[in-house]
Copies of this chain bind each other. A is one copy, B any other.
Amino acid sequence: MKRYKRSDDISYALGITLTFELLINRPDQARRVYVHSDFERGETFDKLSSLCSANKVEIVFSDKPFNILSQKENCYVIGEFSKKYMALDKNASHIVLNNPSNAGNLGTIMRSAAGFGIVNLAIIRPAADPFDPKTVRSSMGSIFRLNIEEFDSFDEYMGKAGQRNIYPFMLKAKKKLNETEFVKPFSLVFGNEATGLDDSFLSVGTSVIIAHSDRIDSLNLPIAASIAMYEATKSSDF
């Protein structure tokens, strides 16, 4: 067992909460569950055991993986899983992240996307690793509820995404978010944390700005993406 590397076929859900999300939502991807000797026997352990046995997932009792994979003190369970990309649903709305660079941000966006019911996520490379254990953690396990597909370019995405309405979010856009009507299926497109989307996106679909005061240069990426998802799904009956 070694530290996680992006080139690995497997990754890890660190902690009991994330491991439950894995076993409940993607049992087919679960390969193995590691349990630390300090993990108390009780209801939670019983629930974990029965989920594992129902899904034929081996439980390994060993402290070693925790020393290698987890920096956190209170991590007593690790779910090892196979990474899996899934084709996006052409009829559904999408979030499209163009070159996101931060694994934590990627996870935070996944959590909001699951929250607002946009369960198809396109990632345009180069990009942070959606399966990095840090991403899994900051997604709070939402990663196991999303279809995630990577593309080499926005054009490749457009070629495969099906007929839809594109809304790139950019500071140079004219249309304000609260004056925008989102027609389904839609794609909300966001650029890199530092550089945003380049000007070529001004001529793609309807570009949108989240208006803010000039006290800041821009909103944080997961914040901007989440505000956009909130507004675009407002009519949903959650």
Which residues of A does B touch, CB under 8 Å? 108, 111-112, 114-117, 119, 140, 142, 145, 178, 210-217, 219-220, 222-223, 226-227, 230-231, 234, 236, 238
Contact = CB atoms under 8 A, between A and B. Distances in A.
A116 B59 CA distance: 49
A186 to B, nearest CB: 17
B227 A212 contact: no
A234 B111 contact: no
A108 B211 CA distance: 17
Contacts of A219: 111-112, 115, 226
22 contacts: A108-B220, A108-B223, A111-B216, A111-B219, A111-B223, A112-B223, A114-B215, A115-B219, A116-B212, A117-B212, A140-B217, A142-B215, A210-B230, A211-B238, A212-B238, A213-B236, A213-B238, A222-B222, A227-B227, A227-B230, A230-B230, A230-B231
A222 B227 CA distance: 11
Contacts of A211: 238
